[in-house]
């Protein structure tokens, strides 16, 4: 009997009062709490786990981190604890944080008002589940992803700071799962129960759990620029997180999936010019193509070189001036008489010019026609405009598919997310 009591006491000591909790059965949630190797953090207000060393560095917004902090106020951070109780709107400088439900949470009302569990794991069943979850959620880009490491943090039945009256009964349960293969990384934000929007600080109401500054849900890269926000962040829609389904991402209700190894700009990834294209000005990506091709082949070649690649349309004096350097290179590398396709053509309707990218041609706007060209060379099968080297790069017109008079050209393509090395 004494032995039994000793064992019971020891278990009670190890688990605190956690043996009383029943983990939720929400299908979005990974196993946590009693029955798992989870660590249970002490009851706290604005507390933190302190630095937790990781067996695998977690890639996050272009860096990787060998430790993390699980913090009372509904977040995991890298580099330092993030325990402030005010959810300053992202982006903010300094905080590298995964804000799964960032508001003034307190787990120490009346001794215990909630349980924060955490563990890292390489358990085979968990890795298999994480692998399936990412492959299912993001099949086009990550259909062959294989998880090698997972971290699970769960805020179970947590209460608010400044709870009063019925506010003591308001509890939220949510979970943050970090997944990586050592190169790519992803996070799952899982929600089971949301009964309060915010704590009583920041003008909140400790009885109703409402107020003008609801919890922030999102990811902040820490450079003041890169971040991502859940569409319900800082709104009363937070109450419906447990039933929300991302229309673009297959998965169980109550889950938000984000990739986290790349830097994000605003609500999307950082954008760069495609490989082989050079950035001109703030947002143009150009690639000169000195091998002359006929008009249709030039268009096809641009489409091959990059997603959404197309013939660059030289339709302004600014474009012309900007391209002087390119033109000088064409001058030396392309054959005698070769020119440069401008992207202007009247092949669809004789006499009606339009740009290849679909924009209308404004004859009153910028033009650079060689003298007499429109009168002498517009008719017949001459439908494609090129900049003729021998005429000082003025505009001329020729057949689009003349073998002897193929032209060089410039391709352009939109910026795209940074290519992953993973
Ligand atoms: Ca707090
Ligand atoms: Ca014509």
pLDDT band at 336 (very low <50, low <70, confident <90, very high): low
Mean pLDDT of 253-264: 89
Question: Is the C-alpha dihedral spanning 141, 144, 149, 151 positive or negative?
Answer: positive
Ligand nearest to the CA of 399: 2
Tokens of 230: 């859940």
Question: Which residue in the block uniquely carries the two structure tokens 């099968």?
Answer: 381
Whole-number pLDDT of residue 377: 75
Nearest by Cα to 296 from 362, 368, 331, 345: 345
Cβ 35 vs Cβ 49: under 8 Å: no
Q: What is the pLDDT of residues 8-25, one digit of tens each?
A: 334 444 444 444 799 999
CA of 75 to the centre of ligand 1 (A): 11
Asked whether the bond before 91 is cis by omega within 30 degrees of 0, the reply is yes
On the question of pLDDT at 7 being above 60, the answer is: no
Q: Beta partners for 99?
A: 75, 218
Whole-number pLDDT of residue 6: 40
* CA–CA gap between residue 249 and residue 58 (Å, rounded): 23
CA of 346 to the centre of ligand 2 (A): 5
pLDDT band at 62 (very low <50, low <70, confident <90, very high): confident
Q: Phi and psi for 218 in degrees, rounded to 5?
A: 175, -170
Whole-number pLDDT of residue 327: 67
Ligand nearest to the CA of 84: 1
On the question of pLDDT at 1 being above 50, the answer is: no
* CA–CA gap between residue 68 and residue 77 (Å, rounded): 6
CA of 256 to the centre of ligand 1 (A): 24
Whole-number pLDDT of residue 405: 76
Answer with the residue of higher pLDDT: 337 or 153: 153
Ligand nearest to the CA of 354: 2
CA of 16 to the centre of ligand 2 (A): 85
- The predicted model scores a pTM of 0.66
Mean pLDDT of 68-93: 96
Nearest by Cα to 152 from 125, 187, 185, 184: 187
Task: Tell me the percentage of the chain whose pLDDT exceeds 70.
Answer: 88
**184-198, 216-230, 328-342: range with highest mean pLDDT:** 184-198
Residues 6+ apart with CB under 8 A from 190: 26, 28, 29, 30, 174, 175, 176, 177, 254, 255
* CA–CA gap between residue 125 and residue 215 (Å, rounded): 33
Ligand nearest to the CA of 377: 2
| 3 state DSSP class of 87 | coil
Domains and CATH numbers, the chain: 14-270 (no CATH), 272-417 (3.10.100.10)
User: Out of 103-107, 281-285, 365-369, 380-384, which region has the weakest mean confidence (pLDDT)?
Assistant: 281-285
CA of 398 to the centre of ligand 2 (A): 8
Whole-number pLDDT of residue 270: 73
CA of 154 to the centre of ligand 1 (A): 16
* CA–CA gap between residue 357 and residue 349 (Å, rounded): 16
Cβ 202 vs Cβ 88: under 8 Å: no
Q: What is the pLDDT of residues 155-212, one digit of tens each?
A: 999 999 999 999 999 999 999 999 999 999 999 999 999 999 999 999 999 999 999 9
pLDDT band at 417 (very low <50, low <70, confident <90, very high): confident
Give the HSE-up count for residue 267: Cα atoms under 13 Å, Cβ half-sphere: 5
User: Helices H, strands E: what count in the chain?
Assistant: 7, 25
CA of 222 to the centre of ligand 1 (A): 21
CA of 247 to the centre of ligand 1 (A): 32
Count of all residues that appear for the chain in the document: 422
CA of 207 to the centre of ligand 1 (A): 16
CA of 105 to the centre of ligand 1 (A): 4
CA of 382 to the centre of ligand 2 (A): 4
Distances from the Cα of 369 to the Cα of 187, 273, 374, 384, 394, angstroms: 56, 31, 8, 13, 6
Whole-number pLDDT of residue 3: 44
CA of 383 to the centre of ligand 2 (A): 4
CB-proximal residues (5 Å) to ion ligand 2: 346, 383
Q: Phi and psi for 398 in degrees, rounded to 5?
A: -150, 175
Chain centroid to CA 183: 16
Cβ 259 vs Cβ 186: under 8 Å: yes
Tokens of 384: 């494609």
- Averaged pLDDT score across all residues of the chain: 89
Tokens of 25: 């059965």
CA of 88 to the centre of ligand 2 (A): 60
User: Out of 96-110, 154-168, 290-304, 374-388, which region has the weakest mean confidence (pLDDT)?
Assistant: 374-388
* CA–CA gap between residue 411 and residue 302 (Å, rounded): 5
What are the start-end ranges of the E strands in 194-259?
A: 216-220, 227-229, 255-259
Ligand nearest to the CA of 107: 1
Cβ 172 vs Cβ 155: under 8 Å: yes
Q: What is the pLDDT of residues 13-56, one digit of tens each?
A: 444 444 479 999 999 999 999 999 999 999 999 999 999 999 99
Answer with the residue of higher pLDDT: 248 or 267: 248
Whole-number pLDDT of residue 420: 66
Cβ 215 vs Cβ 87: under 8 Å: yes
């Amino acid at each position: 009997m004494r032995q039994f009591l000793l064992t019971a006491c020891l278990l009670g000591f190890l688990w605190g009062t956690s043996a009383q909790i029943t983990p939720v059965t929400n299908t979005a949630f990974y196993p946590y709490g009693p029955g798992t190797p989870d660590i249970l953090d002490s009851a706290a207000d604005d507390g933190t786990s302190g630095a937790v060393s990781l067996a695998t560095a977690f890639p996050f917004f272009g860096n990787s981190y060998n430790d993390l902090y699980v913090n009372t106020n509904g977040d995991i951070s890298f580099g330092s604890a993030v325990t402030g109780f005010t959810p300053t709107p992202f982006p903010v400088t300094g905080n590298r944080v995964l804000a799964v439900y960032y508001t003034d949470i307190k787990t120490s009302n009346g001794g215990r008002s909630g349980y924060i569990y955490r563990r890292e794991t390489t358990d085979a069943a968990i890795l298999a589940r994480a692998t399936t979850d990412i492959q299912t959620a993001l099949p086009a880009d990550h259909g062959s992803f294989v998880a090698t490491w997972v971290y699970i943090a769960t805020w179970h039945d947590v209460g608010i700071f400044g709870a009063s009256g019925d506010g003591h009964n308001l509890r939220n349960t949510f979970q943050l799962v970090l997944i990586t293969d050592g190169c790519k990384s992803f996070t799952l934000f899982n929600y089971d129960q949301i009964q309060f929007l915010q704590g009583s600080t920041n003008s909140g109401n400790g009885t109703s759990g409402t107020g003008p500054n609801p919890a922030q849900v999102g990811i902040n890269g820490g450079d003041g620029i890169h971040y991502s926000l859940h569409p319900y962040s800082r709104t009363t829609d937070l109450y419906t997180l447990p039933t929300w389904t991302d229309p673009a991402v297959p998965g169980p209700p109550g889950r938000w999936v984000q990739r986290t190894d790349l830097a994000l700009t605003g609500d999307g990834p950082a954008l760069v010019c495609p490989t082989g294209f050079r950035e001109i000005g703030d947002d143009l990506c150009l690639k000169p193509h000195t091998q002359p091709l006929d008009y249709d082949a030039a268009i096809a070649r641009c489409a091959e070189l990059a997603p959404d690649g197309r013939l660059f349309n030289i339709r302004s004096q600014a474009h012309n001036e900007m391209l002087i350097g390119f033109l000088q290179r064409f001058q030396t590398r392309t054959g005698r008489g070769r020119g440069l396709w401008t992207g202007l053509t009247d092949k669809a309707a004789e006499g009606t010019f339009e740009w290849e990218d679909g924009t209308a041609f404004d004859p009153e706007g910028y033009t650079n026609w060689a003298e007499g060209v429109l009168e002498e060379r517009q008719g017949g099968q001459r439908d494609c405009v090129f900049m003729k080297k021998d005429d000082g790069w003025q505009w001329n017109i020729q057949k689009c598919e003349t073998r002897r008079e193929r032209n060089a050209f410039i391709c352009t393509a939109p910026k795209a997310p940074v290519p992953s090395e993973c």
